[in-house]
Amino acid sequence: MARVLVVDDEYSFAEFAKLLLEGLGHAALICLDGSKAVDMALIHRPELIILDLNMEELDGLDLIAQLKAREETKNIPLILASSSTDKADRAEALKRGAVYSILKPIQKETLKLLIDRLVPGQ
Amino acid sequence: MRIRTKFSAFSAAVVLATVAILAATAFFLQKRLISSHMDEIRRVQSAGFAAVCRQAITTDNELFMINFAKLLMESPGIAYAYYVDAEGRIRVHTDKKFFYKTLAEWTAGRPVGVIEAEHPVKIGGSPAGRAVIGFSENYARGLLEAALAQTTARVAAAAGVVVLAVLPAALLFAVILTAPIRALARGSEAVGRGEFTARVEVESKDELGDLAGRFNEMAQQLAILDEMKDEFISSVSHDLRSPMSAVKMYTQYMLFEDPDRDKILPQHRTFLLTIMESATRLGVFVTNMLDAAKIKAGRAEYHVQPMDAAVSVRNVRGLFGILAEKKGVALVESVAPDLPKAMADPERMDHVVANLVSNSLKFTPSGGKITIGARPDHGRVVLWVEDTGKGISPENLGKLFRRFGQVDVADQRAKRVTGTGLGLYIVKQTVEGMGGKIEVASEVGKGTTFTVTLAGAPPDAIVLPAGLHG
């Protein structure tokens, strides 16, 4: 079982990701406010973070930068989940440290494969 | 007829008419002038003859008179000359046989076609006789005609020169005048095609320059409105996408993923399928709107990667299964067993096939059949959608892939076939954007087949899971 933090200000997507994660037997935490994601990561120490690109309070790109800037969070693998087809932003996210970029809606099989790969020995 | 031709012809006609009126006037005046001039010459000659006659009579020297008459005969155009005294007796005549004959005898045999000019001869204040000269009418007419012919020739030459000068000048003027009109026509054509960046360059300060300025303002306004429309559609579509995507994924989850899905009541299952089908249709529609805006703005992106065409076939069949069933149309798969991987954007490919199937469903009546297939073709991969619909006439096949190119709108409205006319335009743009090729074959009454040919992927290519971009 892996602990996964889902950061998305769109409730329906965050909840759905949680549904899929729990279906796969993982523990999911939802963070609807990007600016609180770093604090939540510090408290709960997730093994994987799935984050949205376009968020009201804090942009996904800035969140990646903040997570990578902290010793405690910089090694947590990050997956970018976005419905935007903006190639430039996605490339930028990958450059800043996101490991994978996936398109919404998230597919269960894709999620399973990525967790198996990114969180070994869970 | 072009304006410049009309203008030149009109100018030439006006000039010719003016020249003709001037020529007629000149001709008339010339004729009158020459006639009066000739009258004057006749008067002077007869007066001279009269003076000679008076002199001859006073000096009683008839020979002088005879010699002068002979001399007169030598000048051209004079037919005869004679002097008749107060008693009516001819005293001198250029024809000797009339000497001392009566006037009546002479007039009986007088030649015709002669204009006579006479002058009285007075001696000491009382009339003594008349000096008469007969001028040949033919000779006078000949002179007159020669003079008039010369005038006519001159006028004609002048007219020719004027017309030759006026025609090119008129043509040049007309070309200069109509250049802005032609520019405006070209501009209108471009704007009509939807090129709102088209501008008309007319520098002149006249009405045409004003019109061109207004035309450019209009085109600019149209461009702004067009852009606003695109942005509006794009933002509306984008905002529609997230909630719709949520509807779809939850419905799908309830139907196929949820551990408790077996507990759904059968009628609720049907309702959920209907919700999913509606969300699918709306999804295709919204994606089309977004795609069209992106293609138009040149912002379309394709993540071409190795993909399994069979997955696209399966996905789309899954999307439209319920809708086809409701319409009474069989939706079947036909995937070749040895299908290699293709090079395409998997998400966009699903959308292409979804558009083709959605299109076929629209035109295939109940009892018909739609086949979604995939097969290898010399190292490439062919995806095809075949229907037993009403078919497309050859003249409409060409219009098929145009933007808003839905064929025969009136006919479709009558038959309640709806659509944005964007689907096939996007299909073509997307397939070509991914480096593929699309073809269509159709027979009216029998059906239509759309064929998408994609490049094959290397045999050892890895297909990434759906939605993943590494």
* Averages of pLDDT over each 10 residues, chain B, 470 residues: 81 85 87 90 90 88 86 87 88 86 85 89 86 90 88 85 85 85 89 84 84 91 88 82 86 89 92 87 84 82 89 90 88 93 91 92 92 94 94 82 60 53 87 93 91 92 72
Gap between the Cα atoms of A54 and A8, Å rounded: 9
Whether the predicted pLDDT of A72 surpasses 80: yes
CA distance A55 to chain B (A): 13
Chain A residue closest in CA terms to B290: A85
Selecting from B243, B245, B465 the residue whose C-beta is nearest the C-beta of A113 gives B465
| Nearest residue to B72 (alpha-carbon basis) of B100, B48, B51 | B48
Q: What is this structure's pTM? A: 0.60
Alpha-carbon Rg of chain B, whole angstroms?
Answer: 52
Whether the predicted pLDDT of A86 surpasses 70: no
- pLDDT given for residue A42 in this prediction: 95
Write down the ipTM of this complex. Answer: 0.84
- pLDDT given for residue A102 in this prediction: 87
Chain A residue closest in CA terms to B465: A110
CA distance B418 to chain A (A): 28
HSE toward the beta carbon, residue A106, CA cutoff 13 A: 28
Chain B residue closest in CA terms to A84: B238
CA distance B470 to chain A (A): 5
Alpha-carbon Rg of chain A, whole angstroms?
Answer: 13
The label of the residue with tokens 């072009």 reads B2
| Residue A65 domain-assigned (yes or no) | yes
* Residue A110 CB contacts under 8 Å (≥ 6 apart), including other chains: A102, B465, B466, B467, B468
CB contact under 8 A, A10 and B242: yes
From chain A, pick out residues whose CB is under 8 angstroms from the CB of B243. 12
| Residue A122 domain-assigned (yes or no) | no
- B28, with CB counted inside 10 A (0-12, 13-18, 19+), is exposed
CA distance B403 to chain A (A): 22
User: A-contacting residues of B 357-376, CB under 8 Å?
Assistant: none
State which residues form the domain around A11: 3-51+60-84+99-108
CB contact under 8 A, B257 and A108: yes
Neighbour tally for B245: CB within 10 Å: 20
In contact, B331 and B368? CB cutoff 8 Å: no
- pLDDT given for residue A94 in this prediction: 85
| Residue A119 domain-assigned (yes or no) | no
| Residue A28 domain-assigned (yes or no) | yes
Count contacts between A and B (CB, < 8 Å). 59
Instruction: Kindly state the average pLDDT of the residues A59-69.
Output: 91
- pLDDT given for residue A84 in this prediction: 62
In contact, B356 and B427? CB cutoff 8 Å: yes
CB contact under 8 A, A103 and B253: no
- pLDDT given for residue B406 in this prediction: 52
Chain A residue closest in CA terms to B469: A101
Q: Which of A15, A85, A104 to mutate to test the interface with B (most CBs of B within 10 A)?
A: A85
Q: What domains sit in chain B, N to C, each tagged with a CATH number?
A: 3-157 (3.30.450.20), 301-454 (3.30.565.10)
Share of chain A above pLDDT 70, in %: 96
HSE toward the beta carbon, residue B300, CA cutoff 13 A: 24
Count of domains for chain A = 1
| Residue A10 domain-assigned (yes or no) | yes
| Residue A121 domain-assigned (yes or no) | no
CB contact under 8 A, B242 and A83: yes
One-letter amino acid for residue A4 of the chain: V
Question: Do the strands B114-123 and B330-335 form a parallel or antiparallel pair, or are they unpaired?
Answer: unpaired
* Residue A23 structure tokens: 């279906």
Selecting from B250, B259, B347 the residue whose C-beta is nearest the C-beta of A16 gives B250
CA distance B468 to chain A (A): 4
Selecting from B242, B253, B470 the residue whose C-beta is nearest the C-beta of A100 gives B470
Opening angle at CA B191, ends B190 and B193, nearest 5: 65
* pLDDT tier at A85, thresholds 50, 70, 90: low
- pLDDT given for residue B221 in this prediction: 92
- pLDDT given for residue B217 in this prediction: 92
Classify the C-alpha dihedral A74-A77-A82-A87 as positive or negative: positive
CB contact under 8 A, A103 and B465: no
Chain A residue closest in CA terms to B250: A16
| Residue A115 domain-assigned (yes or no) | no
Chain A residue closest in CA terms to B248: A105
CB contact under 8 A, A107 and B467: yes
Locate the DSSP E strands across B31-158.
78-85, 90-93, 114-123, 126-136
CATH number at residue A29: 3.40.50.2300
From chain A, pick out residues whose CB is under 8 angstroms from the CB of B245. 13, 83, 104-105
Q: Is residue B236 within 8 angstroms of chain A, CB to CB?
A: no
